[in-house]
Amino acid sequence: MSRSLANTISTTESSRTQEFLRQGAIVVGASLFVALCAQVTIPLPFTPVPLTLQNFAVLVVGMTLGSRRGFAALALYLAEGASGLPVFNPTGPGGIAQLLGQTGGFLMAYPFVAALAGWIFEHGKRTFARAATAGLVAEIILFAGGIGWLAVLTHSVGQAVRFGFYWFVFAEVIKIMFAAAVAARARRSPKVQV
């Protein structure tokens, strides 16, 4: 093997390693962004499900990173929480208990929510309207998972809907709009290369 060919192979491998590390850092950073937003929590006295910024972060991560990296970031987030790191909202017990608790259905849906929002947004013009649509469709998955799990725990679909849906509709619309604005701006900006 000639020296120039060996140098080319070495440079290519180095570039791949650097890109892998860069992508890994983006995924880790995104999981930490969701963890940070989870700390912004307002407990509600009439439901065991608190109002948090987590859903906003999940949508932003999915739409700005795309379906694959969004899924990876949220799967990592769940693994961080399951291992006991304080990444979930602080009103819950943390760890596996929180994944199996009353907000577990929402948490377990997060990777799929991010993946779906990212997939919809990355397959078309990256406009605010497309981002808002992606957020709305992804939230359907989120609430299906959350309410479904609450129904299992409460043995009542009506009670699950009261606990996990009615009190959150207005806030979720606002989160979707803000996430759509962030995603549309970030994806159109030539300075943002994620």
The CATH number of residue 28's host domain is: 1.10.1760.20
pLDDT in tens, 3-56: 665 555 566 777 888 988 999 999 999 999 999 999 999 999 999 999 999 999
- 115 pLDDT tier (thresholds 50, 70, 90): very high
pLDDT value at 123 more than 80:
yes
Q: How many beta carbons lie within 10 A of that of residue 5, not counting itself?
A: 9
Residue 149 covered by a domain: yes
What token pair was written down for 30? 């995104």
How far is the C-alpha of 99 from the C-alpha of 16, rounded, in Å? 35
Whether residue 109 contacts residue 144, with contact meaning beta carbons closer than 8 Å, is answered with: yes
- 107 pLDDT tier (thresholds 50, 70, 90): very high
The length of the chain in residues reads: 194
DSSP 90: T
53-72 mean pLDDT: 97
Query: What is the reported pLDDT for 4?
Result: 63
Residue 39 covered by a domain: yes
Residue 27 covered by a domain: yes
Residue 193 covered by a domain: no
How far is the C-alpha of 68 from the C-alpha of 133, rounded, in Å? 19
Query: What is the reported pLDDT for 186?
Result: 86
pTM for the complete prediction?
0.89
Q: Which positions ≥6 away from 54 have C-beta within 8 Å?
A: 34, 37, 38, 89, 106, 110
Query: What is the reported pLDDT for 6?
Result: 55
Residue 111 covered by a domain: yes
Classified as helix, coil or strand, 194 is coil
Residue 108 covered by a domain: yes
Query: What is the reported pLDDT for 192?
Result: 47
Residue 194 covered by a domain: no
Q: How many beta carbons lie within 10 A of that of residue 13, not counting itself?
A: 10
Question: Residue 132 is part of which domain span?
Answer: 3-188
Report CA-CA distances (Å) from 125 to 24, 26, 128, 133, 188: 26, 23, 9, 12, 10
pLDDT value at 105 more than 60:
yes
Whether residue 47 contacts residue 163, with contact meaning beta carbons closer than 8 Å, is answered with: yes
Query: What is the reported pLDDT for 15?
Result: 82
Residue 90 covered by a domain: yes
DSSP 50: P
Domains identified in the chain, total number: 1
Give the DSSP H/E element, type plus range, for residue 71: helix 67-82
